[in-house]
Amino acid sequence: MKKIIITGGPTTEQIDDVMKITNMANGATAAALAESFAIAGYEVVAIMHKSVRIDSHKNLKIIRIENALDMLRAIESEARQDNTDAFIHAAAVGNYSKDFAFLLEDMADEIYRKMGKIKSAEDILAIMKDPKCRLDSRASLPGYQENLAVKLALTPKIIGKLRFWFPNTLLVGCKFTNGADRGELFDTAMALCNKNHMDYVLASDLEDIRNGDMSRYLINRDGFTQIMLRNPDAIFKFVDEKLQ
């Protein structure tokens, strides 16, 4: 039985007990792919955000995640088994998580008090990146504060780790642009494919998706392959044929 791992949906990063950072991905394509591969007799591992709706199947193992670090750990755990034939990384992993919160007036006061020691913009930046005025990360953010600010940190770049973890696996990634022309979309996806040693990238523009066009342009390390995969069934058939 061939094995495939599919990621899907958004990731959600906690700001405090109430607020979160997320995106508009719903994981529908990833869920449809997982179900199709399971029905076709594959062993499927679906690593999906908690919000993704997906039907159960005897061949389907569903791992629910919340944030980018959860997804990273779930993928790494599966990688240790070293028996994956294909990996479709369709999740829209958020780029940012909360680093710390602060009030602008507190930051301004901290910088002002250190003015005598400040010699350059780099000195100010060093204070802003690691201030003493950061709010307690264990507490909820204060309510309705005009000058409340949140510094964001980068989340782990999961796609960059996949080839190391899955050296002999067919790797398929996804790339979305927003309002890009075809040339820019293809160049961006090709760069992603080459940088991360993917076999293919499914590229699309959010403007097209909003207009009801769910097609994916199939990109490899040389650029656009002249193949368009118009729906999850077409993606399934393409990957299935590659694994025969």
Phi-psi region of 207 (alpha: psi -120 to 50; beta: other; left: phi over 0): alpha
Q: What is the pTM of this model?
A: 0.93
Q: Give the 3-state secondary structure percentages of the chain, helix then strand then coil, rounded to 5.
A: 35, 30, 35
d(CA 165, CA 180): 32
Burial 38-57 (b: 16+ CB within 10 A, else e): beeebbbbbbbbeebebeee
Q: What is the pLDDT of residue 11?
A: 98
SS3 189: helix
Low-confidence residues of the chain: pLDDT under 70: none
pLDDT for 55: 94
| Longest distance between any two alpha carbons in the chain, whole Å | 70
What homologous superfamily is domain 3-95+156-242 in, according to CATH? CoaB-like (3.40.50.10300)
pLDDT score for 144: 87
In angstroms, the first-to-last Cα distance of the chain is 12
The structural domains of the chain, with segments of one domain joined by +, span 3-95+156-242, 97-154
